[in-house]
């Protein structure tokens, strides 16, 4: 309050008055000068330490900044290592897939070569059979009145005559081929015979081709009398 302030000022004046009467003006001046010197020293020291503290704060901020950068760098390194690990894993998988694909291609090549060898062997056997049949042409023509012609797709056409006593020149025809399994197969028959499938099955079992041709001629002959 104002009264308290006035009382404080009065007490201060009394204190200075007593101090002057005890120590004198000169001593008080020296004391004040010493006080001022101390204040200046304290101020200079305070400014110095304040500057040091500011420098320390800046150093701490720099340390925090460097620490943050180090953490970020560590995170980036960790992410790069993880990415590198994924790339290595993908490369390993691609190498494995490449190896599997190469093995699969090699296996397919080997299977294809085997199939080609089998097909070539069957084609060779089929051609040999056709050649043997052609060599038997004269024998069949002489004994059975048969004409054999080679037509398209390596097929043989068998033409019988002298079967129908009413019309000796009337042709009775069936066409024969060698299928992919290497078996005899009748592809056409004129006039048609109900027993042709049976004859075909029998010649596959016995491989007796002469009997097969003779049986077909007998069937044509029987048909001509109906």
Asked if 155 and 221 sit in the same domain, the reply is yes
Q: Residue 186: inside a domain, yes or no?
A: yes
* Residue found under tokens 């397919």: 108
Degrees, nearest 5: CA angle 41-43-46: 105
Tokens 């089929």 sit on residue: 126
Q: Domain end: 115, 143, 171, which one?
A: 143
pLDDT tens digits, residue range 143-155?
667 899 999 888 9
* pLDDT tens column, 107-133: 888 888 887 777 677 667 667 766 666
CA 107/CA 101 separation, integer angstroms: 10
How far the first Cα of the chain sits from its last, in Å, is 155
| Contact call for residues 170 and 164 (beta carbons, < 8 A) | yes
Query: Is pLDDT above 90 for 47?
Result: no
Number of structural domains found in the chain: 2
* Distance separating alpha carbons of residues 217 and 224, to the nearest angstrom: 11
Mark which of 118, 143, 168 sits at the end of a domain: 143
The residue range of the domain holding 216 is 145-225
Whole-model pTM over 0.75: no
Q: Which of 143, 158, 175 is the last residue of a domain?
A: 143
- What is the domain-level CATH number for residue 212? 3.30.457.50
């Amino acid at each position: 309050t104002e009264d308290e302030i006035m009382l404080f000022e009065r007490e201060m004046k009394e204190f200075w008055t007593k101090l002057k009467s005890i120590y004198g003006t000169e001593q008080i001046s020296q004391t004040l000068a010493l006080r001022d010197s101390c204040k200046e020293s304290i101020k200079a020291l305070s400014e110095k330490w304040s500057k040091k503290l500011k420098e320390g704060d800046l150093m701490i901020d720099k340390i925090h900044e460097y620490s943050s950068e180090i953490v970020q760098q560590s995170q980036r390194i960790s992410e790069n290592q993880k990415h590198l690990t994924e790339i290595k894993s993908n490369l390993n998988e691609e190498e494995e897939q490449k190896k599997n694909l190469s093995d699969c291609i090699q296996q397919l090549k080997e299977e294809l070569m085997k199939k080609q060898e089998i097909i070539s062997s069957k084609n060779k056997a089929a051609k040999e059979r056709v050649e043997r049949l052609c060599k038997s042409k004269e024998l069949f023509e002489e004994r059975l009145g048969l004409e054999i012609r080679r037509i398209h797709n390596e097929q043989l056409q068998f033409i019988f005559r002298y079967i129908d006593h009413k019309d000796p020149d009337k042709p009775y025809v069936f066409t024969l081929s060698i299928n992919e399994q290497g078996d005899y197969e009748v592809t056409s028959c004129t006039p048609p015979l109900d027993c042709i499938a049976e004859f075909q099955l029998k010649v596959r079992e016995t491989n007796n081709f002469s009997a097969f041709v003779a049986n077909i001629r007998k069937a044509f002959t029987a048909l001509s009398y109906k």
